[in-house]
Amino acid sequence: MPTDNDTHVDRRTVLKYAGTAGAVGLAGCSGNGGDGGDGSDGSDGSDGMDGSDGSDGSDGSDGGDAFELGVTMGQMDSGLDPQDHAETNTEIIVGQLYEGLLDRDKQGGIIAGLANEWERTDDGSVRFTLRDGAAFHNGDELTAEDVRFSIRRIVFEDVGIVSPQANDLGVVDEVTTGDGEVTVSFEGYNPIAFQLFATNGEIVQQSWVEENSGDYINRNANGTGPFRLTNYESGNQVVYEPNEEYWDGAPAVDELTMSASSESSTRVNQLLAEETDIVTNVPPNEVSRVNSSDVATINSVASARIIFLQMRYDVEPFSSQQFRQAMNHAVDVESIIENVLNGFGNITAQPTLDGHVGYNPDIDPYPYDPEEAERLVEESGHAGVEITLETPIGRYLRDVEIAQAAANQINSLSNVTCEVEQREFSSLVQDVTAPNIEDRPHFNLLGWGNGEFDGSQTMTPLLSSSGALTVLENDELDGLLTDAEATEDPDERVDILQEANQLAHDLAPWVFMHQQFSVYGVSSDISWEPRADEFIDPDTATQQ
């Protein structure tokens, strides 16, 4: 995919990640966390599943108490239209009802969804074969036409709605249907097509969508997912029942309730009071309270989200590579992880996370070394400079505290003064995504979730010249990323991306901070394993 055409793609993606509310839209469509037909293509480690979630064949097993499961998140949905939102919370709520063609396992590997076979055709298009027996909640069989309509409704503005997910599936040229088959062709080559379809693209029924009003579609659901909607209270709670006709067998849960409390301590209180079973984003200081109770435990997983401090390459003092490296030496990320996050984070050294396509295992983090930092600052000729770190308030786990800690450490260098400016997220994001790089902040904290598990999905928007949030213009890096887009051989592509990561590390456009953990509180009454992509799949939960 040539970078020239990327602008469109990337800018779109921005909205998905940084736009409206909620955490960055990470979760892919789901429904089936179990096995299902294992795909053939490119999914590594897909068999490394925990054995604990044996949801299959749970039908009729509910002899005793009904299995009522509650999930409490930070925020509720923004309407139930699966194709008209761009945030994680909505994705989680809608994802119980709708599914995509492909899916991911707990570790992020690609598995089958509504399509049980998928392949790349000779011309670079992708072909999905729909499974038999998948039906919408209203009883109608899933058809290839529904799939075509769904994809077109997402990517084309003139079909139904202007979807904020329009570019989540790549630059789609056209969708064609065959007998139980759907073929999607792209403009140019799309090396990560399956990654995209495993994360995005929920399928709706054409007739149902066309016959109902927008308000109705946002309050009701007719998907193919493992749960059916029983009660929707906007902004309060959503109640589900198992879809007994689900193609992969009905989930063990008899009644699922999803609700939200914006305060983490409230969520923990609810968990400990046994009012709910799964709570999201338990903050570090609450962890011991959960662990020491006998009703719940902490269950955490490294997420696909990284936190970093962006430094704009075209303004002083950040135009100096030495200065940027100095900043990386000045911040003691280990100590921040230890003290601010109570250890719930992994230090990073490159834009791509361990486990994602293109990760370079040979790069080590910049060591914490204030003296080296001072020396580099001196060398850069910016000694005595005053800088301001802008940070969003309350958007990422402990964001303000992290920014303040980092700024304090920079400030304690003898030759740099650093202050923190707190910004409301939506206004900061407006600046961060300003069309011209000249309008973007000089130095700011940002988080980025990579739902596709592919390094290019971080580096292209954030570090390529044309990226929607870039703070860097470097021909060498641009070249590597362009090459990666056009490379059809996966292994070769990995090599190129690894090289790009090394380059990004050396250029130090960011202060590389950490990889966030998703920290859940889980009731001891249930068994459930979290996923790496922040999606919650209660259909894999079982009663203990």
Among 275, 369, 483, 499, binds another protein (CB under 8 A): 275
Assess 3 for contact with another protein (CB under 8 A): no
Q: Which helix (H) or strand (E) holds 336?
A: helix 333-339
Cα-Cα-Cα-Cα dihedral sign, residues 408, 331, 504, 281: negative
Q: Among 306, 302, 308, 352, which residue's Cα sits nearest to residue 331?
A: 308
Assess 283 for contact with another protein (CB under 8 A): yes
Among 138, 230, 231, 426, binds another protein (CB under 8 A): 426
Assess 81 for contact with another protein (CB under 8 A): yes
Among 120, 127, 152, 289, binds another protein (CB under 8 A): 289
Among 96, 195, 259, 482, binds another protein (CB under 8 A): 259
Cβ proximity to another protein: between 16 and 329 the closer is 16
Sheet holding 181-186, edge to edge: 115-120, 126-130, 181-186, 172-178
Cβ proximity to another protein: between 320 and 350 the closer is 350
Assess 61 for contact with another protein (CB under 8 A): no
Q: Please, what's the b/e burial string for 455-477 (b: 16 or more CB within 10 A of its CB; e: otherwise)?
A: bbbbbbbbbbbbbbbbbbbbeeb
Cβ proximity to another protein: between 218 and 501 the closer is 218
Among 176, 231, 236, 524, binds another protein (CB under 8 A): 236
Among 270, 458, 482, 527, binds another protein (CB under 8 A): 270
Assess 44 for contact with another protein (CB under 8 A): no
Cα-Cα-Cα-Cα dihedral sign, residues 52, 58, 62, 66: positive
Strands of 321-371, DSSP E: 345-347
Assess 234 for contact with another protein (CB under 8 A): yes
User: Binding pattern to another protein, positions 178-217, x when CB under 8 A?
Assistant: ------------------------------------xx-x
Among 95, 225, 251, 284, binds another protein (CB under 8 A): 284
Q: Which stretch binds another protein (CB under 8 A): 30-38, 195-203, 404-412, 453-461?
A: 404-412
Beta strand 526-527 with 542-543 is antiparallel
Among 51, 63, 273, 438, binds another protein (CB under 8 A): 273
CA of residue 294 relative to chain centroid, distance: 32
Under 8 Å between Cβ of 206 and 217: no
Cβ proximity to another protein: between 61 and 335 the closer is 335
Would you call the peptide bond into 490 cis, given omega within 30 degrees of 0 as the criterion?
no
Among 52, 427, 524, 544, binds another protein (CB under 8 A): 427
CB 20 → another protein: shortest distance, Å? 6
Assess 239 for contact with another protein (CB under 8 A): no
CA-to-CA distance for 459 and 455, rounded, in angstroms? Answer: 6
CB 522 → another protein: shortest distance, Å? 13
Assess 164 for contact with another protein (CB under 8 A): yes
Under 8 Å between Cβ of 327 and 500: no
Among 314, 364, 424, 506, binds another protein (CB under 8 A): 424
Among 30, 32, 43, 264, binds another protein (CB under 8 A): 264
User: Binding pattern to another protein, positions 448-487, x when CB under 8 A?
Assistant: --------------------x-------------------
CA-to-CA distance for 151 and 274, rounded, in angstroms? Answer: 41
Assess 512 for contact with another protein (CB under 8 A): no
Among 353, 405, 472, 513, binds another protein (CB under 8 A): 405
CA-to-CA distance for 362 and 186, rounded, in angstroms? Answer: 34
Assess 50 for contact with another protein (CB under 8 A): no
| Residues between 333 and 372 that touch another protein (CB under 8 A) | 335-336, 338-340, 342-344, 346
Q: Which stretch binds another protein (CB under 8 A): 32-40, 94-102, 223-231, 253-261?
A: 253-261
Torsion angle of alpha carbons 204, 75, 227, 27, nearest 10°? 60
CB 10 → another protein: shortest distance, Å? 8
Distances (CA, A) of 90 to 74, 76, 97, 140: 11, 7, 11, 25
Residue found by looking up tokens 């580096």 in the block: 459
Among 1, 3, 15, 73, binds another protein (CB under 8 A): 15
Assess 389 for contact with another protein (CB under 8 A): no
Assess 408 for contact with another protein (CB under 8 A): yes
DSSP annotation of 363 reads P
| Count of residues of this chain found to bind another protein when the rule CB under 8 A is applied | 77
DSSP annotation of 141 reads B
Q: Which stretch binds another protein (CB under 8 A): 6-14, 117-125, 142-150, 492-500?
A: 6-14
Assess 521 for contact with another protein (CB under 8 A): no
Enumerate residues 6+ apart whose C-beta is below 8 A from 450.
26, 304, 305, 306, 353, 356, 457, 458
Cβ proximity to another protein: between 8 and 127 the closer is 8
CB 300 → another protein: shortest distance, Å? 5
CA-to-CA distance for 177 and 149, rounded, in angstroms? Answer: 10
CA-to-CA distance for 218 and 363, rounded, in angstroms? Answer: 46
Helices (H), 200-256: 206-211, 214-217
DSSP characters over 156-168: -TTSSS--TTTTT
Among 60, 63, 64, 292, binds another protein (CB under 8 A): 292
